[in-house]
Structure 1
Amino acid sequence: MPEPLIKIEGLYKLFGNKPASVMPLVHEGRSKDDILAETGHTLGLKDINLTINKGEIFVIMGLSGSGKSTLIRHFNRLIDPTEGVIKVDNIDVMKLSSKELEQFRRHKMSMVFQRFGLMPHRTVLENVGYGLSIQGKSKAEWTAKATEWLETVGLAGYEAQYPAQLSGGQQQRVGLARALCTDAEILLMDEAFSALDPLIRSEMQDQLIELQDKLHKTIIFITHDLDEALRLGDRIAILKDGEMVQQGTPDDILLNPATDYVEAFVKDVNRARALTVETVMKPPSRRITADTIAEALVQMKAIKGDYGYYVNADGYQGVVTQDALEACSDDSQKMSNKVWEDMPGISPDAMLESVIPETLEGKYPLPVVDEDGNLKGELSRSNLAGVLGGGSAENDAGKKSVIEAKQ
């Protein structure tokens, strides 16, 4: 089971002079516009509840004004809530004293900003090591650490440069190195890549994924870009007008939008690039495990088809057909590679985009096989058509003809 690190319960934020006196209207269910018109107070967040697990990238997304940046600033109390509970590693953040909060921000969380937030009068090395220096580390210690992180993000040799001498992408790498240098367990990344050109942005996403594979930090990533959210997030929360409208894995958001708003959000997503085979495959229903031809024929009749995927003690071997079995003169003979056809399996982690040609051209649904040779599922043309057409394979079988027509 995942280990919860951050818990947000019943979080509300009401901006204005007397938020406590206006909160009864919020609890009555009055709209954001009504509250603003009647009281002059702005409802920033409404009843946010979420759990963020240790070591995951949790993406909070929404359009401008949805409350996502307001929410992330509650994690380290740059903004205090009007109501609600914020717990980090079982620490009630709302009960921290000023001194405790200062230490919490220095050691538990680091933040990467959209506009880099670098100090122009300090060198790249000094910027990266700044967090450690204010923690009281010696110059030799923070210099060594900062140098190490600059090398990690691909900026070795830039230590003596100043931020103005770097490109936007390089500046953001400095910001990322600075956040990582403190060894904080949690990274808060507020639209960290949105100011970058598309190519540089994609490179930074690649680097973050690569670093996360090694570091296993807990990352809370804010974005307005759904493609970025789907690419980076282990889980995603979508906000609208300060309310959370859906929370789930990327494939759950894509395949099961909870509201019309989310459905409109995801309708133009290239699903072939966003979904893996594992998210849409069906369980393997045509498994043949017999030792002999006769036993295999019995299993073939039981699955009511004319083909199956042969699996033995060594794992998935290939596709076996009823015709091939019946063509054997001696049905007591052992199953062998003379009976089954070689049909390479596809990985459950493969993106759908990479297996479309094989799916369209294959005589049979593609077997999905993990790295240990275990048969995990199958991917058919109709299954693929339903998902790429905007529905599910089960509910959208009519789209099968769309794919088949392309053969």
Structure 2
Amino acid sequence: MTDKSQIKPLIRVKNLYKVFGPNAKAVLKQVKAGKSKEDILAETGHTVGLCDINLDINPGEIFVVMGLSGSGKSTLIRHFNRLIDPTEGVIEIAGTDVMSLNEKGLQDFRRHKMSMVFQRFGLMPHRTVLQNIGYGLQIQGLSKNDWEARAHEWLETVGLGGYAKQYPSQLSGGQQQRVGLARALCTDADILLMDEAFSALDPLIRSEMQDQLIELQEKLHKTIVFITHDLDEALRLGDKIAILRDGVLVQQGEPVDILLNPADDYVEAFVKDVNRARALTVETVMKPQVVRISAETIGEAVAEMRKAKDDYGYFINDEGYQGVITQETLENVKKADYGNAIDESMLEDVPSVQTDALLEAVIPETLESDHPLPVLNAEGEVEGRLSRSTLAEVLSEQSTASDKETDSDTKKPFSNKDDTSGNNKAA
């Protein structure tokens, strides 16, 4: 297993500030002195876009940046490919200081290192679907045969085989965004910037595009910076999430950290209505595994059980987890039979669950079982346990938070608008 602490960030942002206006450098002193964004705008006419942003984005992860309109999220992403230059700060991509690039170096950087997918598709209406997808390769100087071949491959990958000669106006919104995604991927850039890429789509198509992005990412392992204002989307896609408010980075971390440990009232206000059962996986809430009984004989199992604090254990043999064996069952065996092998009839059939399963999917089995369910990883090894009490604790925290309603709708900055079921409370 890779030690995450040893991974070198692909994108590193340090002490990044952006002030919009003719005297940005002078106004920056006021920003650093702690004057508010509103006061600076009123007194100087300058707008604070970003204030002391620090973040690391690792290779192969989907890093989601969230925020309301005006929070600075789109401003931030446009710094990565220098569509916007900072007032002050460092932006490093793969160890290269982006601010040090000259015009030609920046042009090459944009053509080969980064691709971008826009909210409104950004397709050229006078070019066919195939020509739109292959445009970046044409700019790179590839021959017609080469760029067409690669464009055809990506056309098939995003499920639009047969649409090569169509024009954007002949496609639905979802199809146009698939073309935009194929165009961004076609250049084989290391980094994909996606600025509200799915927000213009209706909820069903949006969900399908999220599915496709997850499926593609499992194969491609690109580094994706994804901008959204929708918490459900962020939780579904993000390996890491950063939340901006008025140009300030208020919290960043893994989705479970954001959900279970909000940094302040602002973050807590919009995570409280998330259906945790749909957002959290078993791995994020499971407790350490109980005793493993791996003995071959009943006598050996009795000895292992006596060392344990619990009155049951997960019986595991060469074929993996087999079921639960209890202290009571073992105590009912005569000592004369201690040399016998553990029989299948001695085991209770307690189903296992996978680490990556959503809590929503395992609620019925958890509630029906007298014992905590063993949690298995992808290799079939027991990594932990999930009990009714753990489930109740995690979900009741949400219920408690929901009971603390304030009298202002402004305490709910981000909407979970794709949840049309009306069931946005924990089960």
- Same fold judged by TM-score > 0.5? yes
Q: Percent identity?
A: 71
Alignment correspondent of 1:340: 347
1:263 to 2:245 alignment: no
- 1:313 Cα deviation from its structure 2 partner: 4.3
Q: Which of 43, 46, 49 is the matching residue for 1:41?
A: 46
Instruction: Indicate whether 1:73 and 2:82 are aligned.
Output: no
Deviation digits for residues 70-126 of structure 1, max 9, x if unmatched? Answer: 000000000000000000011100010011111111111010000001111111111
- 1:337 shift after superposition: 2.2
1:356 to 363, 369, 393: 363
| Aligned partner (choices 187, 210, 215) of residue 215 of structure 2 | 210
Q: Displacement, 1:56?
A: 0.8
C-alpha distance in structure 2 between counterparts of 1:123 and 1:129, whole Å: 10
**Residue number in structure 2 paired with 1:365:** 372
Equivalent residue number for residue 236 of structure 1: 241
Cα 1:129–1:372 shift into 2, 3 Å: closer
Q: For the residues of structure 1 that align with 2:372 and 2:349, how far apart are their CA atoms?
A: 14
C-alpha deviations, 1:146-170, integer Å up to 9, x for none? Answer: 1111111111111111111110001
2:228–2:234: 8 Å Cα contact kept in structure 1?
yes
Helix, strand or coil at the partner of 2:354: coil
Alpha-carbon distance in 2 for matches of 1:354, 1:64? 34
**Structure 1 residues 322-377: Cα deviation after superposition (integer angstroms, max 9, x where no partner):** 22112212234333323222323111111111100001111111111224332111
Question: Residues of 1 paired with 2:162 and 2:309: CA distance?
Answer: 66
Q: Tell me if structure 1 keeps the 8 A contact 2:276–2:398.
A: no
- Measure the CA separation in 2 of the matches of 1:323 and 1:107: 65
Q: Does 1:53 align with 2:62?
A: no
Cross-structure match for 2:396: 389
Aligned length: 392
Deviates more, 1:67-76 or 1:306-315: 306-315
User: Structure 1: how far apart are the matches of 2:173 and 2:398?
Assistant: 40
1:23 is paired with a residue whose SS is helix
Q: What is the letter of the counterpart of residue 336 of structure 1?
A: D
**Bigger shift: residues 282-291 or 105-114:** 282-291
- Unaligned ranges ≥5, structure 1: 393-407
- Aligned-partner Cα distance in 2 for 1:305–1:162: 66
SS of 2:397's equivalent? Answer: coil
Partner Cα separation in structure 1 for residue 317 and residue 47 of structure 2: 64
Please tell me whether residue 296 in structure 1 is matched to residue 278 in structure 2.
Answer: no
Render the CA deviation track for 1:268-312: whole Å, top value 9, x for unaligned: 111111111111000013333344333433433443433222234
Q: Write the distance in 2 (CA, Å) between the matches of 1:370 and 1:21.
A: 55
Residue in 2 aligned with 1:108? 113
Deviation at 1:391, TM superposition (A): 5.8
Which shows bigger deviation, 294-303 or 87-96?
Answer: 294-303
Deviations 1:186-229 (A, max 9, x none): 11000000000100000000111111111111110000000000
1:402 is matched with which residue?
none
Q: Any residues of structure 2 matched to 1:80-119 within 5 Å, and which? A: 80-119=85-124
Amino acid at match of 1:228: E
Superposition pairs of residues 266-281 of structure 1, within 5 angstroms: 266-281=271-286
Secondary structure of 2:22 counterpart: coil
Q: Which residue of 2 aligns with 1:396?
A: none
Distance, in Å, in 2 between the alignment partners of 1:373 and 1:129 is 43
Partner of 1:28: 33
Q: In structure 2, how many angstroms separate the alpha carbons of the residues matched to 1:50 and 1:305?
A: 43
Deviation for aligned residue 1:10: 0.4
Query: In terms of mean alpha carbon deviation, does 25-34 or 219-228 score higher?
Result: 25-34
Superposition RMSD in Å: 1.5
Task: Tell which deviates more after alignment, 171-180 or 304-313.
Answer: 304-313
1:175 alignment partner in structure 2: 180
Corresponding residue to 2:291 among 286, 309, 321: 286
Q: Following superposition of structure 1 onto structure 2, how do residues 295-314 of structure 1 map, counting pairs within 5 Å?
A: 295-314=300-319
1:61 and 1:236 in contact (8 A); partners too:
yes
SS of the aligned residue for 2:353 comes to coil
2: distance between equivalents of 1:143 and 1:308? 60
How far apart are the structure 1 equivalents of 2:380 and 2:164? 47
- Match status 1:63 vs 2:68: yes
* Residue type at the aligned position of 1:225: D
Whole-angstrom CA distance in 1 between matches of 2:283 and 2:243? 23
